[in-house]
Chain A
Amino acid sequence: MSKQSVELEILRYDPERDEAPHFQSYTVPYREDWVVLDAVNYVKEELDRTLSYRWSCHMAVCGSCGMVVDGEPVLACHAFLRDYPDRIRIEPLHNFPVERDLVVVIDDFIDKLGSVKPYLVPKEEKDVEEGEYLQKPPELATFMQYTACINCLLCYSACPQYALDESFVGPAALALAHRYNLDSRDVGRGAREDVVASNPGVWQCSFVGACSEVCPKSVDPAAAIQQAKIAASGDYFLNLLTPWKRK
């Protein structure tokens, strides 16, 4: 017999009412083509108007609905009920303070994103009337993968290093820095090194690779960080060998 319903155990926390987070259970219908977000929306629409969470696009591109489902950080709009057992535990992303229910405070990430200077520092300033910077497909291909990050923060939720030390700049922000560093139009690597090559930067990463495993967009931040380590080591040895070039 096919499944009729599933039970969701959702972490609830309202700082105005609750001393501590607790789980609340809801029974929702089972539908073969439902994602976890559909089930959570069912709770919100039919069972409990007080449940808070973020969502918008329902197509895995806006990055709003990251949650921890049965222990794994996922996009709720991209995790299918059919892949879970009859009882599903839903928590907010780990490693961030809980604002309310499934909503976490992400100010720390937003600050870190800005800290890596995630914008193009052009080789030569060019007027728009002179047309585009040329960039051949193989040059584009070197960094395209690292542009795919949707800032959903699953990687921060999975990262053991960020869990230990929140000063760690973290996977998404470092991958984005790497994306600009690799861009053939960009010369901003030096300006980003203060953060990227610092101790809270790439060197804190212990290369567990959890970030890349949970990434819904196959960005592979772990690879970006390892490549950035190699680049930063190159700079270090180059500085030793050519002290006259130091700033």
Chain B
Amino acid sequence: MDSINTDVAIVGAGGAGLRAAIAVAEADPALKVALISKVYPMRSHTVAAEGGAAGVIKDNDSFDHHFHDTVAGGDWLCDQDAVELFIHDAPRQLTRIEHWGCPWSREPDGHVAVRAFGGMKVERTWYAADKTGFHLLHTLFQTSLKYPTIERFDEYYSTDLVVADGRCHGLTAIEMKSGQVRFFKARAVIIATGGAGRVFPFTTNGAIKTGDGMAMAYRAGVPLEDMEFVQYHPTGLPGTGILITEGSRGEGGILVNKDGYRYLQDYNLGPPDPWPRKKAMELGPRDRLSQAFWHEQQKGRTIGTDHGDVVHLDLRHLGEAKIDERLPMVRELAMSYVGVDPVQAPIPVRPVVHYTMGGIDTDINAATRLDGLYAAGECACVSINGANRLGSNSLTELLVFGARAGRFAAEYAAGQAVGAAPGVDALARAAEARVVDLFRRADGDENVVALRREMNEAMEDGAGIYRTEASLRSCTERMLEIRERYANVLLADRSNVFNTDLIEVLELGSMIDVAVAMASSALERKESRGSHQRLDYPDRDDDRYLRHSLAHYSPTGQPRIDYREVTITRSEPAVRVYGGAAE
């Protein structure tokens, strides 16, 4: 088995991974970086983010506002020391990628423009039309080409962390073009693999969002934090789940039910006028809007389609010129995928799984409890997102904490030897053997496609927008059964060359572990907070659950759940208030 020696190995080359790579290269040009990803960097799912990235720059805004919007948006489950650091570094990081060429949309005088997003007291979202993630990703990728110390390993699928003597010594990854497993020996490892939306059947997430990095860290003994919190974005296209940005509501779009009624006024988000207005109606937080849809559906006031019930997102009053300037991709997506020109007609939308607030437990330096292992971006839980992420904080998060992960991993790596612990080669060979076993296994009666569908159904049935003891118990049981059957999955494709059957089998293994952690954490949290809504425990319970859940892996599959206190520095838990009452 070939090994590749490096100083900092980064798994994932989306926004967080690229930002981390650049941070390592800038911090210490003597360090080698191996940037490892199962796809080419520009395919990473950061590319699909549309609306923008939050950072305080305007005179009418303040760090206090960004802090409070984030903490209240997260239903007080955010660690406030992390939020503090985040909001202060946000404008610096956004300015830095401006200096690297990001084509931010501008005011007439040449300054960067901002728009409003949901749950924001003051508009602070930097945007590049409605392709912000695309521009941010390509700017980072292109900028990364400047640094000779960053070596890319495109289309390498990472399988396992190599851990010995309580320290992470690197990882194993399959070179997809040859099917060969390589051992990346590293002084430090950063995981930046993004979210796990594909655990659910209906998601804005691309096919690659399978939680591989979360699962790797989890299996290596690092707990997954707050996994019960999964964000539904209120406006996805029916059928495909394609995201229609919150920026479309920030620009003034409205949501109406089958009677043409702005139903959000019935859910403590009104009054509807004047409009647009911050933190009210369509600019309420994502969790509240997705929950309101569910209630409208129960009342029979949504609109039935072949792809499930929808409501209408109406942009017509914005006019063609504004739609083309600010929301060109929304127009194009709606026309292509649902045959609706938003200039002429409202867009059918419904809530769709969008973001995993939870992830690999890290401190504010992006370090995990495993020496030498760091994590940043959606795969990590710092936690600045708490129980519900504020729209447009995630692009900023991957810059702020991607850069931090790079800096602290570089610092750590400089003081360590490579591959020093005895037995690491044997561990890497054992990881390789697990892949080879899949190839050699002749019997096995489980099929990856069927198991994946069953997982998707179990998660949607049991762990969707509203949950109960019974639904979550059944979901957990079904997931554990699927996990057992996964051991008998049969590989249909035995080629070494670009074997996507193999990759899908391994991805399913990651998703199953992540899904079990989500369902088990949700079952144990007997309260409703942010995106985690229990019909049987409808209220927030700060006495018992103002705490982060930590799911610890066990080889049996059933995780052990324990808790850690939330860090509160200056905002005591209070009632979340939106709509007219928020003014």
Contact = CB atoms under 8 A, between A and B. Distances in A.
Interface of A: 14-17, 33, 44-46, 49-64, 78, 99-101, 103, 105-106, 110, 113-114, 117-120, 122, 126, 128-129, 131-137, 139-140, 143-144, 147-148, 150-151, 176, 180, 183, 185-186
Contact of A150 (B42, B44, B92, B110): B42
B500 A16 contact: no
A119 B108 contact: no
11 contacts: A14-B497, A52-B500, A62-B43, A99-B498, A100-B497, A101-B498, A118-B145, A119-B101, A128-B96, A134-B109, A136-B108
Contact of B43 (A33, A63, A110): A63
Contact of B208 (A14, A44, A53, A56): A56
Interface stretch (B131-139, B341-349, B511-519, B564-572): B131-139
Given A57-B206, A150-B134, A49 B333 contact: no
B336 A133 contact: no
A147 B141 CA distance: 13
Contact of B48 (A53, A59, A120, A144): A59
A133 B493 contact: no
B294 interface: no
Contacts of A53: 500
Nearest to A176: B142
Nearest to A33: B239
B495 A58 contact: no
Contacts of A15: 497
A132 B95 contact: yes
A15 B207 CA distance: 26
B242 interface: yes
B276 interface: no
Given A135-B106, A135-B110, A147-B103, A100 B498 contact: yes
A99 B336 contact: no
Nearest to A50: B493
A206 B48 CA distance: 34
Given A61-B48, A144-B129, 16 more contacts: A33-B239, A44-B500, A49-B492, A50-B501, A52-B498, A54-B39, A59-B48, A61-B47, A64-B39, A99-B497, A118-B145, A119-B101, A120-B101, A120-B143, A131-B95, A132-B112
Nearest to B329: A61
B47 A57 contact: yes
Given A137-B108, A147-B138, A16 B497 contact: yes
Interface in B155-210: 177, 206-208
B563 interface: no
Contact of B103 (A17, A99, A101, A140): A140
Contact of A58 (B39, B57, B242, B493): B242
A45 B549 CA distance: 36
Contacts of B336: 60, 78
B31 to A, nearest CB: 20
B240 interface: yes
A33 B39 CA distance: 27
B562 interface: no
B261 interface: no
Given A52-B499, A64-B39, A57 B48 contact: yes
A136 B108 CA distance: 6
Nearest to B96: A128
B100 A110 contact: no
Contacts, number: 153
A148 B47 CA distance: 12
B485 interface: no
A56 B111 contact: no
Interface of B: 39-40, 42-45, 47-48, 57, 92, 95-96, 98-101, 103-106, 108-112, 129, 131, 134-135, 138, 142-143, 145-146, 154, 177, 206-208, 239-240, 242-243, 329, 333, 336-337, 448-449, 492-493, 495-501
A56 B103 contact: no
B492 A50 contact: yes
Contacts of A16: 495-497
A64 B208 CA distance: 11
Top 5 nearest A-B pairs (CB, nearest first) are: A134-B110, A49-B492, A120-B101, A56-B206, A50-B493
B14 to A, nearest CB: 11
A83 B400 CA distance: 45
B45 A57 contact: yes
A139 B493 CA distance: 52
A137 B108 CA distance: 6
B495 A62 contact: no
A222 B43 CA distance: 24
B106 A56 contact: no
B142 A56 contact: no
B270 to A, nearest CB: 32
B495 A50 contact: yes
Contact of A143 (B57, B103, B497): B103
Contacts of A150: 42, 47, 134
Given A33-B239, A62-B42, A180 B145 contact: no
Contacts of A144: 103, 129
A140 B138 CA distance: 17
B245 to A, nearest CB: 12
B423 to A, nearest CB: 33
Q: Which of B92, B146, B333, B492 has the most CB of A within 10 A?
A: B146
B99 A133 contact: yes
A63 B39 CA distance: 11
Nearest to A126: B99
Contact of A140 (B106, B206, B492): B106
Contacts of A133: 98-99
Contacts of A100: 495, 497-498
Contact of B99 (A56, A110, A122, A140): A122
Contacts of B143: 119-120
A99 B177 CA distance: 7
B43 A64 contact: yes
A62 B48 contact: yes
Contacts of B95: 128, 131-132
A62 B209 CA distance: 13
A180 to B, nearest CB: 7
